[in-house]
Chains A and B, each alone.
Chain A
Amino acid sequence: MTASGWASRARWIALGITLVLLAALPYLVSSFVVNLATQALIFGLFALSINLLAGYGGLITLGQAGFIGIAGYGLAILTTQEGWPLGAAIAGGLVLCVLAAAFFGLLLVRARGTYFVMITLAEGMVVWGIAQRWQELTGGENGITGVPKPGFAQEYWEFYYLALVVVAACTVLIARIVRSPLGLSLKGIREAEDRLPPLGYDVALHKLVSFTISGFFAGVAGVLLAMYNSFIGPSDVFFLTSAEGLLMSILGGVGTLTGAFVGAGVVIYIQNDVSSWLERWQTLLGVVFVLVVLFAPDGIVGAWTRYVWAPLLRRVGAADAAAAAEAATSAASAAVVSGDADGAGPAPVTAPAPAPPAPHREEARSP
């Protein structure tokens, strides 16, 4: 009891220290690093939106950058061409994004595994195609420049705080969703999709709702990205961006909230800083990814939990909390990284424990 209480308190303390450090960041490091952190926050949110589907639902998407595109282009077109005020344009971009996500979601509610991946890939490419080819509207290959920032976030550090607040709020929302009945039934889809309908779950509806929610959060990342760069172009929408988001998510650890941000941080750092002094930075990125998949299949956060956090908890006597922490990451990564996410069979044998903790089970009975 006391040990477990200590364990939960330690988590809150760690979270508090992280938040204070993040809040103090512009005072501690150079402006360039603050800019990298802003980017890591934005892409972390993007990776988290993928993680919501992939990590919790086992639904791998390769078209998520399409939502960055719809929201980002929506904002850019409404501000630079239609002359909307920024606030209204942000809302407009996000509404467009949610509508598109719901529409795309309708096309794939019955798809599974590889088919789900392929349809999302196709949807992402449709958005990219529009961005690339509809020159009059999107500026084609050249993209749209001059996307405004809010008046209170003109300076690099002001924008960092804006991103921090928005991303933190979104993360809290996602954390709530993950623990909600919806989140639990998502995990159910990941573990054993076939067993849900007999229990009275509407799998299609759950997929549609979570796909739309995930699209919304990717859209928020898109709006932040377009304002941060004052620019949106086809390369932001290309499927490589989607794949990068998925890699960030896997690198950090699927099925965890912090993993997306850790993964985004590592990728952004290698891409933008290491590349200044290491010509073969792309090789390094590849090697890091291969090493993580080989030796820490549940990602950096998973490895941290397994080798540092869980032993620490066991030492203070909180063995049950340690086991729960380990199970959460390894179950998700087994479903995603091993490619066993088609949900056709029963729960993957490699998954050591059922993910939803028992006390919450009764909440999970959604219509």
Chain B
Amino acid sequence: MSCTSPRLTRRATTRLALGVALATAAIAGCGAPGDGGGGDAEGDLKVGTLFPTSGTVAAAGTDMLRGWRLWWKLNGSTVAGRKIVSTQEDTAGDPTVTLTKARKLVQQDQSKLLVGPLLANEAYALAGYLQQNKEIVGLNPVGSSDDLSQRKRVNNYVKAGGWVSSAPAHPAGDWAADRGWKRVITLCSDYAFGYENCGGFTNTFTDRGGRVVKQLYAPIGTSDYSSYLSQIDPDEVDGVFVQSVGADSPNFIKGWADLGLKGKVPLIANETTFEQSTLRGIKNDDPVGLQSFGHFAEGRESAATQKFVSAFKKEYGTLPSYYACATYTAGQWLTTALNQLKGDTSDQQKFLSTLTGVRLDDSCFGPLSLDRYGGPVGNVYLRKVVRNEQGELVNRVERTYRNVSQFWKYNPQQFLAQPVYSRKYQGADWPSG
């Protein structure tokens, strides 16, 4: 039946192996492959943007793209004689896809500058890529993971318009102590971003003698918060610190109101719980009057913020989230640096030191600069959700903390000697005494 006798197969195999070996040798003789040319485009500055416009964080990623485009639309895409040419790639909220797209932007589109991405795991993946490809400069407006500007810094990955997860939570703990809270329950997302938010709050709150009596963690994608919220006994605590993110936030807000905790238990939340991409979708008054700490407040009464907010509203018909402000500010950051360099980015070291030295007197976040570790120094706002004249839910500024560092009031060296905030380490016993 089968005519392929073993001997014939073996002979064929030998021949095949020989053929392949010869062909490979011939190819190897040609020397190393390469893309041939490419090089530095004289006039245009090619920028690759890595924003997730599909997948679980598509809504926030789309806001990133809108903010980035809005800056160049309002300010013109030619800076100091150089035209900024942007190419967008969708990272789908996945670190592996982020890496593939970064390679594509660099190798195929000849991008010298990468902007993005969104999630911390995507940002870490890109940081690893940038560490190995020092000739590329990265701007990181959204990826807020603490260690990106603390224990795992990559110096060609600049937090332009960026932030640090635990930075707005540090003043929140201090504020809670100011209000005389003694016993608090924290509720955060069960992953790194949640640990860093709860850690920031716990660290400063316990420094002032407060006690965190219970720490609750809800997994990402929690649709029903009642099993967590029912563990909060109003008579037992003075207040609750909450962090939620993405699609979890509306669910938390609904649960908080439905279980009758609103008005009964004081609440302080983080940036993402009441940010605009959450508030946009809420039609009732559940969030009205609730307070949070964040580095962005669309209701901030300042020319820079209001110019951005009204332009965004005009262009896209909705109020901007901090994701949009972040990429808009990254555009402002790049423009400022290019103007200082008179458009000359040929010296990589000089380009990087100019980027890290940028000081914005005002932006949609407020004044912004970087500390010597690459962590943003800027305003943190105590915000309250209110309805504006148009009936939209906005975050109004109640109080401004100026020049907040990622290290709060701690000594940077001592702070960095501690591990990054995790489920285990929340800074409750540090610094002791």
Pairs A–B under 8 Å by Cβ, sample size 13: A9-B12, A12-B15, A20-B19, A20-B23, A24-B23, A31-B34, A132-B191, A133-B423, A135-B422, A146-B131, A156-B107, A231-B96, A282-B54
Q: Are B104 and A276 in contact (CB under 8 A)?
A: yes
How far is it, in angstroms, between the C-alpha of A39 and the C-alpha of B131 when the chains are bound? 21
Rounded to whole Å, the gap between the CB of A164 and the closest CB of chain B is 10
Contacts of A140 in B (CB 8 A): 191-192, 195, 422
Chain A contact residues, CB within 8 Å of chain B: 1, 4-5, 8-9, 12, 15-16, 19-20, 23-24, 26-27, 30-32, 34-36, 39, 132-133, 135-136, 139-143, 145-146, 155-157, 229-231, 233-236, 271-273, 275-276, 279, 281-282, 320-321, 324, 357-359
Dominant SS among interface residues on chain A: helix
Q: Are A157 and B16 in contact (CB under 8 A)?
A: no
Residue among B2, B53, B96 with max Cβ neighbours from chain A (10 Å): B96
Q: Are B30 and A272 in contact (CB under 8 A)?
A: no
Shortest Cβ-Cβ A-B pairs, 3 listed? A145-B128, A26-B33, A4-B3
Contacts of A26 in B (CB 8 A): 33
Q: Does B24 contact A (CB under 8 A)?
A: yes
Q: Are B35 and A359 in contact (CB under 8 A)?
A: no
Contacts of B422 in A (CB 8 A): 135-136, 140
How far is it, in angstroms, between the C-alpha of A5 and the C-alpha of B8 when the chains are bound? 9
Rounded to whole Å, the gap between the CB of B334 and the closest CB of chain A is 23
Q: Are B192 and A141 in contact (CB under 8 A)?
A: yes
Contacts of A359 in B (CB 8 A): 1-2
Chain B contact residues, CB within 8 Å of chain A: 1-4, 8-9, 12-13, 15-16, 19-20, 23-24, 27, 30, 32-35, 53-54, 89-90, 92, 94-97, 99-101, 103-104, 107-108, 120-121, 124-125, 127-129, 131-132, 145, 147, 152, 190-193, 195, 422-424
Contacts of B190 in A (CB 8 A): 133
Find the A residue at minimum CB distance from B33.
Answer: A26
How far is it, in angstroms, between the C-alpha of A133 and the C-alpha of B192 when the chains are bound? 9
- A39-B100, A141-B191, A236-B96 given. 17 additional CB < 8 A pairs? A8-B3, A8-B4, A16-B16, A23-B24, A24-B23, A27-B30, A32-B104, A32-B108, A141-B193, A145-B131, A146-B128, A229-B99, A229-B125, A231-B125, A233-B124, A320-B1, A358-B1
Q: Known: A146-B131, A233-B125. Contact between A19 and B20, CB under 8 A? A: yes
Q: Are A35 and B100 in contact (CB under 8 A)?
A: yes
Find the A residue at minimum CB distance from B103.
Answer: A35
Q: Are A231 and B97 in contact (CB under 8 A)?
A: no
Rounded to whole Å, the gap between the CB of A256 and the closest CB of chain B is 17
Q: Are A30 and B35 in contact (CB under 8 A)?
A: yes
Contacts of B12 in A (CB 8 A): 8-9, 12
Rounded to whole Å, the gap between the CB of B102 and the closest CB of chain A is 10
Rounded to whole Å, the gap between the CB of B1 and the closest CB of chain A is 6
